[in-house]
Amino acid sequence: MSHPSYPTQPDEALRQIQASPSYAAQLLLTTAAVLRIQAERTLHPRVLDIALGFGADAIVGELPMAVQLDALDKARAVLPPVDDTVTHGEYALRLDATAKTV
């Protein structure tokens, strides 16, 4: 029996899982990093889809399809709107902020 003030191995594992960003958040952060490659360009919705695809491949590409689809659905549900004046860099900042909410 462990002492209540000392975390057990499962307690520590659970703490680490809870402290880690969700797959959706990681996907948004990775998408933001991809967009920063050409930060000054104006964002087009198709480019966002491509960047999100790169993010999905990197973050959840090796996971079961159900996990991949869940992460993508959650990430897409919180994407900030795209207008014809926002740059890749500005949108990346929006994604960084949004990732903190999922």
| 49 is a domain residue | yes
* More confident call, 93 vs 16: 93
With beta carbons less than 8 A apart as the criterion, state whether 24 and 67 touch: no
Q: How many domains does the chain have?
A: 1
Assigned token pair, 95: 């994604």
Q: Is position 58 within any domain? A: yes
In which band, very low, low, confident or very high, does the pLDDT at 15 lie, cut at 50, 70 and 90? confident
User: Is residue 14 a part of any domain in this protein?
Assistant: no
pLDDT one-digit tens code per residue, 34-55: 999 999 999 999 999 999 999 9
- The answer to whether residue 16 sits within a structural domain is no
pTM metric for this prediction? 0.82
Instruction: Give the per-residue pLDDT at 10.
Output: 76
Residue 47 structural domain: 23-99
